[in-house]
Chain A
Amino acid sequence: MERTTAVTVITHTACATRHLTKIYGSTAEQVVAVDDVSVDIARGSFTAIMGPSGSGKSTLMHCMAGLDRPTSGQVLIGDDDLAALPERAVTRVRRDKVGFIFQAFNLLPTLTAEQNIVLPLELAGRRVERSVLDAVVDSLGLGDRLGHRPSQLSGGQQQRVAVARALVTRPEVIFADEPTGALDQKTGTRLLDYLRACARDDGQTIIMVTHDARAAAYADRALMLLDGRIVGDLAQPTAEAVTGFLGAVAA
C-alpha cells in the first residue's frame, strides 16, 4: 500500500537526459560508454542504475551529475541543460543543485565532520540553517561526532557524514556511486534504509549506481544498462527480479 501512495506523489521530473551519448577515445579506438540514452527521473524517486561491469553506469551518472561532458545529447537538471552551459555555470549547478555520495566517502581530512558537512554551503556562500543541519545530523545519529576529524571516524560514520553533506544543501538530486561498496552488510543496509526514507518521506530525488541486486531492491525503480544502452526499466524492483533480468541479459 505504501508503494502506491509514493507513486501518486511523483508528478514532476527532477532530471532527465535526451539522446545522451558519451564516446571515449580517438576515432581509431572509440569506446561508446553511453549510447543514446533518454530517460526521465521523477522528483522524489529513488532510482537504481544497474548493469555488468563496463556497461557505462558510472559514465552515465557522471554526465547526468555534470561531472563530465557528454559527447552529444542533453542533460537536464531542473531547467538547466548541462550540456549547453559553460564550465563555470555547470560547477555552480553542481554546487547548488546536486549532492554526491561516493564509494570512498571522500571527506576532507583537514576538516571536522561538521565542517565537512557544511562545506558545500560555505562554497556557495549560503548561510547554514541550524534547524536543517540539526535535523540531518540527528536523523543520521552523528550528533556526538561533529567535532571529530575523518581519521577519527569509522567507515560507516564517515559515509554518514558524506550523506549529511549531500543532504544539507537540499539538492535537486543526489547521486550515489556504489555508496555501500566499502561498508559491511549491516551498515550498508542501514544506509539504504535511510536513503529510501529520504526519498519517500522528504521527496529527495536519489540516483544510485550499484552492483548489488539487494541494494537495488531498496529503490523504487531500476534502470538496466548494457553496453551503454538502457535495456530494462523495472518499477518496484525486487532482488530476484533484478538478478533474473541480469541473468537473462548476460546469457
Chain B
Amino acid sequence: MFRHAVSELRLHPGRFIATLVAIAISVGFIVAISVFISTEQNGTGKANSMALSTADLVAVAGDEGLSAEAAELIGTVDGVAAVQRVINASAEVTAGDRTVFATLWVNQAPEFRWAELAEGAYPEAPGEITVARDMADKLGVGLGDEVQAGPGQPLTVVGITRDARSLFTSTGYLWQPADEFPAAGAVAILLAEDADPSAVADEVVRAADGVAPGLTVQTAQEYRDAALVATTGDFDVFKNLLLAFAVIAVLVGMITIANTFTILLAQRRRQLGLLRAVGASGSQVMGRMVLESLLLGLAGSLVGVGLGFAVAAAGSAVTGSWYWGLTVDWAEVGLAVLVGVLATLISAVVPSVAAARVRPLEALQAVPTEAQARRAGAVRAVVCGLLIAGGVALAVLSQVGRSEMNLVYAAASGVLLTLGVLGAAPFFVPALLRLAGRLAGPAGPTARLALKNSARNPRRAAATASALMLAIGLIVTLQIALTSARTSAMDTIDRELPLDLSATYESGVPAGTADAVRAVPGVAEVAVLPGKVVEVDGASYFAVDDHAARLDMGVEAEPIPDTVARFDEVGPDTPATFAIGDVELTSETGELYGWRAFGVSAATLDRLPGQMVDAALWVKLTDRTDATAINRAIAALAAEEQPDLSNSGAQMAGILEQVVGVVILIMTALLGVAVLIAVVGVGNTLGLSVLERQRESALLRALGMQRGQLQLMLLIEALALVLVGALVGFAAGIFFAWLGLSAAFAAVPGGTVDLRLAMDPAWTFGLVGVCLAAAALASVLPGRRAAGATPTEALAVD
C-alpha cells in the first residue's frame, strides 16, 4: 500500500506540484512568523537588557531611584568589584536634515561597556558623543563631525562602536556630570573574583537600606530573563495578528488542494475503478488516498519549514535581530508541520469520500449527471440564499442607529456574505465566464473556445476562482478601508485644522521673514496678520485680525463678532471677559492664534489702543504631509528670531500618512501570500485539465489550429478565470470596506468624521495587474504541454 502511494507520487510528480507548493507556502508562512517573531522578541529583550550584559548583579532601585552617593556606597560593599549607575535617555539625534531615534547611555565605566569600538574612543567630556556604526551611517557623520541631540549645544562625534543594529532605534554614548542625573533606575554590579553572589546581594540590600529604600538585587541573568518575558506580551499581540493572516493563507491553500484532489480523482476514476476490480476494498482505496495525502502534506510541510526559516533569517537580517542569532520555538514549528499535514489530509479526503459515494455508473462520467447536478444545486442555492439574505439583513442593521453594535453587525454580515458568495460561486462564475465568452465572441474562435473551456466544469472553475476571490477580496477590503480611513481622517484634519503653521513673535514679525518663508519650496501660501499689542490682566497679548488671511487661505470660519476675542484655547487662566480701554470682550475658543494671541474682528482691532504691527504669520503647505517642507518652513520662520509656533495638522497628517502607508504595505504583502497560492491554484487547474484534454488538443491541432493559437487559448482561459475571481473579489472588497467603515464611523460618538471612500489605484490595480501577469505565467507550462500534443493522438482509439 505504502509503495503504491509513493510510486503514484513519483510517477506523476507534476500533478502534485501545485499541492506541494500550496502546502509549502502556507506552512512556510506560519514558520516564518513563528521564527521571526521569536527572534525579534529575543533580540529586543537582549537589546533592552544590553546595559546589563556585562554585569554580575543588578540592583534595581525603589520609587525614588538611586543617587550617585548610594551607588558609591554599594561600591564599598565587600565582594563588589565595581558599580555603574545605569542611566539612559531617548533622544532624536540630528545631523543636517537627517534624524535618528536613539538610546543614549551616560557615563559608562570601561569595565561595563559592552560594545567594541570600531574607531575613535568613548566620550570623556561633556559635548562628546560616541555613536553606533548604523547611526553614523544613517546620519552620514564620521569622527569629528557635529550632531545635535535635543536642545542644547551640539555634540562632537569622538568614536564609533560596533553595536547591534535595530530597526527603530540606534545607540549612542555620552559623558555628563553625575549631578545632572540625581536618580538612576538601576545599578550594575561586578563581583570580585571569588565572591558569592547571593551573599553579596544580601549585603548590598543591607548597606543601601538607609540611602535607597525598596532596593532589590537580582543576578544579571535573572534580570535579563525577566526583561525577555516582559517583551513577550507585546510580541504575542503582533504574532496573533500575523497568524490571522497565516490562517487565511492556509484556507486559500486548502481550497487549492481540495480542488487539485477533486480533479485528480475525476481523472483517476478509471484507475481507482481498476483497483476495485482487481479486488481492492473500498477502504483500501480510501486508505491509499489518505496515505498519498499524508506523504504529500509531510513533504510540502518540510519544504515549508525550510522556506520559513529562510524568510525569517532574511527578515531578521533586515531588522538587525540577526545579531542575536535565530531563536526557534520548535514546538511551534512542529505545530505548523502538523497544520500542513492535517490541512492536506482534510482537503484531500473530503473529495475522496464524495467520490467513494458515487455509484459505479456515475463514476464513468467525468461530469455529474444533470439530475445529480440539479439536486446538489438546489441544496446549495437554498443554503447560499439564506446566508446572503442573513448577511444583507445584518448589513442593513449595521447602517441604522449609532451604537457599538453596528460594528458587530457589520462583521457578522461580512462573514455570512463571504460564505454565501463563495458558496454560490458555481452559479455565477460559469455565468460570468459565459458572458465573457459572449463578449469575446467577435474576437475569434480561439477566445471563444477558451472561454467555453474555462466554463465547462462549473465546480472546478468556481473553486479555482473562489480561492482568488477570497484572497483578493480580503486585500481590497483592507486596502480600501485603510485608504478611505486615511482620506476621511485627512479631510477632517483639513477642515478642522486648515493651517499648517502659525507663528507669532515677541514684538511683531521681523522684516523679511514672510518673504523668506514664501521662498521655501513646498510652501503654498503665507499670510501676514495685522494686529496690536495689548495688555490683558497685566500680561501682553497680540490682538489680531485674521479675516483677510482666512479669505486668502480659503479657511472657513464664521466671522468673529465685534464683542468676541477668539483664543487658541480658553484655558483656566484666560479671563472669561475682559476690557481693554473701552472695548469689552468675551473669550471664546477658536484656533491657531498661538500662545498669547487672540483674534478679533477688524472693527474691534481698529478701536483697540496701540500701534498696528505685523502680528502673526500663517503658513500653508502644498503637501501638508511633507515633513521636509515643514522643517524648512520652521527654519525660515526662526531665521531672524525664535517665534512662538503653533504646528497644526501637518505633523499629525504626516504621521498618519506614513503609518497607514506602512500598514497597507505590510497587509498587502501578508495577504499577497494567499494570492500567490490562489494563482498557483489557477495554474494547477489549467495544467490538470490540459492533461484531461490531451486528445482534444490533438484534435484541434489536426484540424489546423497552430501551436501558438493553442497556447493563446490556454492563456485566455487562465486570464478569464483570474479576471472573474479578481473582479468579484474586487467588488466584494469595495462593499465590505464601505460596510465596515460606515459602521465604524457611525459608532464614533459625535460622528464628526465624514466617510469618504477612497482607493489607492497604484496599489489596488497593481494587485489585479500582478494577478493577471501571474496567471499568464501560470498558463505557460500547460500551454506548452497542450501545444506539444501530436495531431496523430487524436486518431488513436483507446
| Cβ A109 vs Cβ B456 within 8 A | yes
A67-B702, A94-B704, A96-B704 as given contacts; A123 in contact with B795, CB under 8 Å = no
* Known A-B contacts A108-B696, A109-B456, A110-B456; A91 and B705 likewise in contact (beta carbons under 8 Å): yes
**Interface residue? A124 (CB, 8 A):** yes
**In the bound complex, do residue B704 and residue A62 qualify as a contact, i.e. CB atoms below 8 Å apart?**
no
Q: Could you tell me the distance between the alpha carbons of A122 and B699 in the complex, rounded to whole angstroms?
A: 15
**Is the CB of B701 closer than 8 A to any CB of chain A?**
yes
Binds B, one of A3-11, A99-107, A138-146, A230-238: A99-107
Question: Closest chain B residue to A94 by CB distance?
Answer: B704
- Contact, CB under 8 Å: A104 / B797: yes
Contact partners of B444 in chain A: CB under 8 A: 122, 125
- Please give the distance in Å from B77's CB to the nearest CB on chain A: 90
CB contact under 8 A between A120 and B797, given known A110-B449, A110-B452:
no
Q: B453, A177: Cβ atoms under 8 Å? A: no
B456-487 Cβ-contact flags toward A at 8 Å (1 or 0) = 10000000000000000000000000000000
Q: In residues 556-610 of chain B, which contact A (Cβ within 8 Å)?
A: none
Q: Please, which residues of chain A bring their CB within 8 A of the CB of B696?
A: 108-109
A119 touches B792 (CB 8 A): no
- In B114-133, which residues have CB < 8 Å from any A CB? none
Contact A68 to B706, CB < 8 A, known contacts A104-B797, A106-B699, A109-B456: no
Q: List, in ascending order, chain A residues with CB within 8 A of B792's CB.
A: 62, 67-68
Closest Cβ neighbor of B798 among chain A residues: A104
Determine the chain B residues whose CB is within 8 A of the CB of A119 once the complex forms: 445, 703
Asked if B654 CB lies within 8 Å of chain A CBs, one says no
Q: How far is the CB of B565 from chain A (nearest CB, A)?
A: 81
For B699, list chain A residues within 8 Å (CB). 106, 108
Give a binary string over A77-95; 1 marks a CB under 8 Å from any B CB, 0 the rest.
Answer: 0000000000110011011
**Out of B449, B453, B701, B797, which one reaches A91, CB within 8 Å?**
B701
B156 in the interface, Cβ–Cβ < 8 Å?
no
Q: Is the CB of A123 within 8 A of B452?
A: no
A106 in contact with B794 given A123-B445, A125-B444 (CB within 8 Å): yes
Interface of chain B residues 688 through 713 with chain A (CB within 8 A): 695-696, 699-707, 709
Q: Which residues of B contact A210 (CB under 8 A)?
A: none
B791 at the interface (CB under 8 A from A): yes
- B residues less than 8 Å from A88 (CB atoms): 706-707
Given known A110-B456, A119-B445, contact A103–B706 (CB-CB < 8 A): no
For residue A74, CB closer than 8 A to chain B, the reply is no
Known: A104-B797, A106-B695, A177-B795. A94 touches B702 (CB 8 A): yes
Instruction: Tell me whether A111 is interfacial, beta carbon within 8 Å.
Output: yes
Contacts of A21 in B (CB 8 A): none
Asked whether B704 lies within 8 Å of A120 as measured between CB atoms, the reply is: yes
Give bound CA distance, A106 to B453, whole Å.
Answer: 16
A58 contacts partner chain B, Cβ-Cβ < 8 Å: yes
C-alpha spacing A98/B702, complex, angstroms: 9
Most buried by A among B449, B453, B695, B790: B449
Contacts A106-B695, A108-B699 hold; do A123 and B456 have CB atoms under 8 A apart?
A: no
Q: Map CB proximity to B onto A172-201 as digits: 1 under 8 Å, 0 otherwise.
A: 000001000100000000000000000000
What is the chain B residue whose CB lies nearest that of A175? B795
Q: How far is the CA of A245 from the CA of B407 in the complex (A)?
A: 89
Q: Which B residues are CB-close (under 8 A) to A100?
A: 702-703, 795
The distance in angstroms between the C-alpha atoms of A103 and B795, with both chains bound, is 7
Hey, which chain A residues are within 8 Å of B456, CB to CB?
A: 109-110
Shortest beta-carbon distance, A17 to chain B, in Å?
17
| Contact in complex: A111, B706 (CB < 8 Å) | no
CA–CA, A94 to B791, complex, Å? 10
Residues in B neighbouring A98, C-beta threshold 8 A: 704
Docked Cα-Cα span, A95 to B452, in Å, equals 22
Kindly list chain B residues whose C-beta atoms are within 8 Å of the C-beta of A123.
Answer: 445, 700, 703-705, 709
B369 to chain A, nearest CB (A): 11
B701 and A102 form a contact (CB under 8 A): no
Q: Which residues of B contact A108 (CB under 8 A)?
A: 449, 696, 699-700
The CA of A58 and the CA of B704, in the complex, are separated in Å by 19
| Contacting residues, chain A, for B701 (C-beta < 8 A) | 91
What chain B residues lie within 8 Å of A106 (beta carbons)?
695, 699, 794-795
- Report B-chain residues with C-beta under 8 Å of the C-beta of A96: 704
Hey, which chain A residues are within 8 Å of B703, CB to CB? Answer: 94-95, 100, 119-120, 123, 165
A121 closest partner in B (C-beta): B445
B706 touches A91 (CB 8 A): yes
User: Known interface pairs A100-B702, A123-B703. Does A111 touch B452 (Cβ–Cβ under 8 Å)?
Assistant: yes
CB pair A95 B704 closer than 8 Å: yes
Q: Which residue of B lies closest to A100 (CB)?
A: B702
Nearest B residue to A61 via CB reads: B795
The interface centre, meaning the residue of B445, B456, B705 with most chain A CB atoms within 10 A of its CB, is B445
Bound together, the chains give a CA A106 to CA B695 distance in angstroms of 8
Give A93 Cβ to nearest chain B Cβ, in Å: 8
Minimum CB–CB distance from A69 to chain B (whole Å) comes to 10
* Interchain CA distance A122-B700 in the complex, whole Å: 12
B452–A103 CB distance below 8 A: no
Residues of B within 8 A of A122 (CB): 444-445
A123 to B444, CA, bound (A): 8
| Chain A 44-73: CB-based contact to B (< 8 A → 1; otherwise 0) | 000000000000001000100001100000
Closest residue of A by beta carbon distance from B696: A108
Residues of B within 8 Å of A181, CB to CB, are 797
Could you tell me the distance in whole angstroms from the C-beta of A175 to the nearest C-beta in chain B? 9
Q: Shortest distance in angstroms between A188's beta carbon and chain B's nearest beta carbon?
A: 16
With a CB–CB cut-off of 8 A, which chain A residues contact B449? 108, 110-111
**Which of A92, A122, A177 has the most chain B CB within a 10 Å cutoff?**
A122
Contact A103-B453, Cβ < 8 Å, known A67-B792, A92-B704, A123-B709? no
Smallest CB separation, B361 vs chain A (Å): 15
Known contacts A110-B452, A110-B456, A125-B444; decide if A67 and B706 are in contact (CB<8 Å).
no
CA distance A87 to B707 in the complex (A): 9
CA distance A100 to B705 in the complex (A): 14
Q: Give the residues in chain B near A103, CB-CB below 8 Å.
A: 795, 797
With CB as the reference atom, state the residue of chain B lying closest to A105.
Answer: B699
Residue of A at shortest CB range from B791?
A: A67
A67: min CB distance to chain B, Å: 4
Q: Is the CB–CB distance between A62 and B445 below 8 Å?
A: no
Instruction: Give complex CA distance A67, B700 in Å.
Output: 12
- Contacts A62-B795, A104-B797, A108-B699 given; does A124 touch B706 at CB 8 Å: no
Residues of A within 8 A of B695 (CB): 106
Q: Could you give, for residues 782-798 of chain B, a 1 whenever the CB lies within 8 Å of some chain A CB and a 0 otherwise? A: 00000000111011010
In the complex, chain B residues whose CB is within 8 Å of the CB of A124: 704
CA distance in complex: A88, B696 (Å): 19
Min CB–CB distance B444 → chain A (angstroms): 7
Instruction: Name the CB-closest residue of A to B451.
Output: A110
Given contacts A110-B449, A111-B452, A122-B444, contact A91 B704 (CB under 8 A): yes
Distance in angstroms between the alpha carbons of A35 and B525 in the assembled complex: 93
Using Cβ atoms and an 8 Å threshold, which residues of chain A touch B706?
88, 91-92
Please name all residues of chain B whose beta carbon is closer than 8 Å to the beta carbon of A111 when the two chains form the complex. 449, 452
Q: How far is the CB of B423 from chain A (nearest CB, A)?
A: 25
What is the chain A residue whose CB lies nearest that of B453? A110
Give min CB distance, B124 to chain A, whole Å: 82
Distance (Å) between the CB of A102 and the closest chain B CB? 6
Bound complex: CA A100 to CA B445 (Å): 19
Given contacts A96-B704, A110-B456, contact A102 B709 (CB under 8 A): no
Given A58-B795, A110-B452, output 5 extra A-B contacts at Cβ < 8 Å: A94-B703, A103-B795, A110-B449, A110-B453, A120-B704
Pairs across A and B, CB under 8 Å, 26 listed: A67-B790, A68-B791, A87-B707, A88-B707, A94-B702, A95-B703, A95-B704, A95-B705, A98-B704, A100-B702, A106-B699, A106-B794, A108-B699, A109-B456, A110-B449, A110-B452, A110-B453, A111-B452, A119-B445, A119-B703, A120-B704, A123-B700, A123-B703, A165-B703, A177-B795, A181-B797
Residues of B within 8 A of A (CB): 444-445, 449, 452-453, 456, 695-696, 699-707, 709, 790-792, 794-795, 797
Closest A-B pairs by Cβ, 3 of them: A95-B704, A122-B445, A110-B452
